[in-house]
């Protein structure tokens, strides 16, 4: 299992479009990927659970991945967050 802390840096937070992009990336991997916000856990492959986190800008998420492609999954998720979900800010 690999874990990482990722900050939500886009101004709208993890809103519907960003959550959909995150879920799309997560579903490219066979590993189980979880997001945790202050003890509230979401399956990164489920848009409903990701949206229920209510992660606004500045939120620090604990991301964990477990499986044969866990490192690639974490790297891809870090990239999408760092690229502001391709929204520009």
- Among 15, 36, 49, 67, the active-site one is 15
3-state secondary structure of 33: strand
Distance of alpha carbon 67 from alpha carbon 70, whole angstroms: 5
Burial of 63-86, coded b for 16+ CB within 10 Å and e otherwise, reads bbbeeeebeebbebbeebbeeebe
Catalytic status, residue 66 = no
Distance of alpha carbon 33 from alpha carbon 31, whole angstroms: 6
Catalytic residues: 15
């Amino acid at each position: 299992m690999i874990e990482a802390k990722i900050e939500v840096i886009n101004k709208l937070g993890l809103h519907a479009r960003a959550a959909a992009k995150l879920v799309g990336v997560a579903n490219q991997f066979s590993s189980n990927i979880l997001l945790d916000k202050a003890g509230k856990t979401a399956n990164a492959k489920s848009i409903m659970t990701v949206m229920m986190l209510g992660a606004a800008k500045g939120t620090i998420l604990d991301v964990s991945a477990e499986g044969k492609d866990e490192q690639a999954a974490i790297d891809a998720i870090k990239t999408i967050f760092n690229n502001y979900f391709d929204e520009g800010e």
